[in-house]
DNA sequence: GCCGTTTTCGGCCCGACTGTTTTCAGTCG
């Protein structure tokens, strides 16, 4: 699948065009095309063959022909031409914070700076100060940006950022004169990783709020503290920006600071079409404010249904909102169970009883214990005999804990071995209430091999679902080379569910894949894969990912009451 | 380069901040 390569080329073209001073809208067109192609779950080659490239938003004649050219020849002439004009290192320099296309071009042409390494040397030798429009402060700023860039501006996992942001928002919300305090930005959209944390506060007392913020106990270093904006580094190294806006602008500001940028652009275009202007202070007709207090108010005037922040990515939500067709997304409160977790029997840190008690506290009505299977020696995986013993323990616990109101299901996370063979015999699997299969070995196999393994496992009638279907670990491990479309096709054919693993490092399926699976009519499971009781609280991250994938309650099996869920598991085994 | 209940040509989101400037360019979100 060449989607990623093509998307990257379009970003490169956009960067070079920007450096060369091309029309900014042309530059934006290539960036948009990159995003659209990069977000596709279908193979762009298949779309090309079906003649559907131009149906994609932002893909017109010129870009479609470049995609076709690349698919046919493996190169893109326009890119080759452009790349020959500008050294790659100069393009890379544009990604240093504080250093944009104009300055990168200037350094290249007037100071022979052609790479990040050259840049570092030029700064040290003081060769940059004195160039047109370049003073001491600008170079100092670029030097700081370079340090950030070289440190690898790693993004923070949502699972790490959200608890801290929430804690600070609660503290700010309690201050005198504060109406509301909400974390905005990609955090509010629940992206899997976050760049920086923006907290928006509704109040007329800017200075007091900012001063109170930088005096919070978790603040380690104050970076700025002005009238309406404060910036600080907190324990854990996160940078947090707090912005204070008056209540009459809070909705418009929340919309603006929540983004995404692409979403904001679409919404502003609609405002212009209605002869209005939208900015972070409100929606205006001429000078006159017509909305701004709440997001709802702004969307209403524009004829849009309110959109959950998770879907504000310019992936069709604005058109859906215009048509009044925003789906009712699954919510944490809809979840009735957790169907993937481990106990001390394999590599978990707590007993089944401890896990069950936490599940009860979370308000679930059932759960499944899914320890690893025998071949995973390092995790002390279970043999059929040990699974039999565990079943007895579960039966006893059910009698002790639940009665009618709570039930522990006996399950397993069975390893998919070579060629799709499962790590337990069918007779052992048949004894269990719930079977989820997954890959823990041979993760670097080629697409054909690994896809065949997974689809073969799906065809086993005892397998209800596939856990962490793509195997990626955020920032640590690339997904398996699995052919996602084929996996979805066989999931549909066999009635196998796919998991959205809620573990913050996994979130697998991701948002885009979850959307594609849902669109294909696949049933989803949202599981924590908890190895300890506190990890059962990760459920919400899986739900956020599902919501980002436009997933509704009816798409998710663990929103079902127990009897309906069991009807599904037994139906699945009969091949239904 | 894309796109069309204003348009097939002429638009294309908006403002703040910073630094280097005497009125603005560049960068960012």
| Each residue's pLDDT tens digit, A199-258 | 999 998 888 898 899 888 888 778 788 888 888 888 777 788 899 999 999 999 999 999
For residue A113, the enclosing domain spans 3-153
Q: How many domains does chain A have?
A: 4
Pair A445, A423 in one domain: yes
Which nucleotides of chain B are near protein (any atom < 7 Å from a CB)?
1-3, 6, 11-15, 17-21, 25-29
What pLDDT sits at residue A576?
46
Residue A27 maps to a domain? yes
pLDDT confidence band for A153 (50 / 70 / 90): low
Average of pLDDT values for A395-399?
A: 94
Pair A465, A401 in one domain: yes
What pLDDT sits at residue A574?
60
**The residue count for chain A:** 576
What pLDDT sits at residue A426?
94
Task: Output the domain CATH number for residue A162.
Answer: 3.30.460.10
Q: Is the distance from CB of A68 to CB of A53 less than 8 angstroms?
A: yes
Strand B contact with A18 (CB < 7 A): no
Domain boundary at A245, A270, A297, which? Answer: A245
CA dihedral A446, A448, A454, A457 (to 10 degrees): -130
More confident of the two residues A129 and A560 = A560
On the question of pLDDT at A402 being above 70, the answer is no
Residue A75 maps to a domain? yes
Average of pLDDT values for A170-189?
A: 93
CA of A375 to C1' of B5 (A): 63
Pair A143, A174 in one domain: no
Mean pLDDT score across all residues of chain A = 91
Task: Output the domain CATH number for residue A135.
Answer: 1.10.150.110
Pair A428, A550 in one domain: yes
Average of pLDDT values for A115-127?
A: 91
Strand partners, A283: A278, A291
Strand partners, A338: A367
Q: Is the distance from CB of A211 to CB of A225 less than 8 angstroms?
A: yes
How far is Cα A557 from Cα A466, in angstroms, rounded to an integer? Answer: 13
Positions 531-560 in A, CB within 7 angstroms of strand B = none
Average of pLDDT values for A365-388?
A: 92
Do the strands A156-157 and A497-501 form a parallel or antiparallel pair, or are they unpaired? Answer: unpaired
What pLDDT sits at residue A556?
98
Sequence-ordered list of residues with C-beta below 8 angstroms from that of A462, at least 6 positions apart, any chain? A422, A426, A429, A430, A432, A435, A573
Average of pLDDT values for A454-480?
A: 91
Percent of chain A with pLDDT over 70: 98
Strand B contact with A59 (CB < 7 A): yes
Pair A369, A518 in one domain: yes
How far is Cα A271 from Cα A31, in angstroms, rounded to an integer? Answer: 23
What pLDDT sits at residue A144?
82
Residue A250 maps to a domain? no
**Cα-atom radius of gyration of chain A, to the nearest Å?**
26
Residue A111 maps to a domain? yes
CA of A423 to C1' of B4 (A): 58
What pLDDT sits at residue A195?
82
């Amino acid at each position: 699948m060449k989607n990623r390569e093509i998307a990257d080329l379009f970003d490169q073209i956009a960067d070079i065009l920007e450096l060369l001073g091309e029309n900014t809208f042309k530059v934006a067109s290539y960036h948009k095309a990159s995003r659209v192609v990069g977000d596709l779950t279908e193979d762009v080659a298949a779309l090309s063959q079906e003649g559907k490239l131009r149906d994609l938003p932002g893909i017109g004649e010129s870009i479609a022909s470049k995609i076709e050219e690349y698919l046919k020849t493996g190169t893109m002439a326009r890119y080759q031409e452009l790349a020959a004009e500008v050294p790659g290192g100069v393009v890379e320099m544009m990604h240093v914070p504080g250093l944009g296309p104009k300055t990168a071009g200037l350094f290249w042409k007037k100071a022979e700076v052609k790479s990040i390494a050259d840049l570092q040397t030029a700064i040290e030798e003081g060769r940059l100060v004195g160039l047109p429009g370049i003073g001491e402060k600008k170079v100092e700023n670029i030097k700081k940006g370079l340090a950030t860039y070289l440190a690898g501006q790693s993004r923070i996992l949502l699972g790490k950022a959200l608890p801290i942001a929430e804690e600070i928002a609660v503290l700010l919300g309690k201050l005198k004169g504060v109406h509301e305090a909400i974390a905005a930005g990609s955090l509010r959209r629940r992206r899997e990783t976050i760049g920086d944390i923006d907290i928006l506060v509704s109040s007329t007392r800017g200075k007091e709020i900012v001063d109170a913020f930088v005096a919070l106990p978790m603040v380690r270093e104050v970076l700025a503290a002005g009238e309406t904006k404060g910036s600080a580094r907190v324990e854990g190294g996160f940078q947090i920006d707090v912005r204070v806006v008056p209540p009459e602008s809070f909705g418009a500001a929340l919309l603006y600071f929540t983004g995404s940028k692409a979403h904001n652009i679409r919404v502003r275009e609609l405002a212009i079409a209605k002869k209005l202007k939208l900015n972070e202070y409100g929606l205006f007709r001429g000078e006159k404010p017509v909305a701004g207090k709440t997001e709802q108010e702004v969307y209403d005037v524009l004829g849009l249904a309110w959109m959950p922040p998770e879907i504000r990515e310019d992936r069709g939500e604005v058109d859906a909102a215009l048509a009044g067709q925003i789906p009712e997304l699954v919510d944490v409160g809809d979840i009735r169970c957790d169907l993937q977790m481990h106990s001390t029997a394999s590599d978990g840190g707590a007993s089944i009883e401890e896990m069950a008690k936490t599940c009860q506290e979370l308000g679930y009505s059932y759960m499944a214990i899914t320890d690893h299977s025998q071949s995973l020696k390092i995790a002390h995986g279970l043999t059929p005999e040990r699974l039999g013993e565990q079943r007895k323990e579960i039966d006893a616990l059910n009698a002790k804990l639940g009665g009618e109101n709570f039930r522990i299901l006996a399950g397993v996370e069975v390893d998919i071995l070579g060629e799709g063979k499962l790590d337990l015999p069918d007779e052992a699997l048949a004894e269990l209430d719930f079977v989820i299969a997954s890959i823990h070995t041979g993760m670097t196999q080629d697409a054909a091999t690994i896809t065949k393994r997974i689809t073969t496992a799906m065809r086993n009638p005892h397998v209800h679902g596939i856990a962490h279907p793509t195997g990626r670990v955020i920032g640590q491990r690339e997904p398996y080379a699995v052919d996602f479309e084929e996996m979805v096709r066989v999931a549909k054919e066999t009635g196998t569910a796919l998991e959205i693993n809620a573990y913050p490092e996994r979130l697998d399926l991701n948002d885009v894949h979850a959307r594609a699976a849902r669109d294909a009519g696949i049933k989803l499971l949202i599981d924590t894969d908890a190895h300890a009781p506190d990890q059962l609280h990760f459920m919400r991250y899986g739900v956020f990912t599902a919501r980002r994938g436009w997933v509704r309650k009816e798409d998710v099996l663990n929103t079902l009451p127990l009897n309906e869920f069991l009807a599904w598991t037994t139906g699945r085994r009969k091949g239904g």
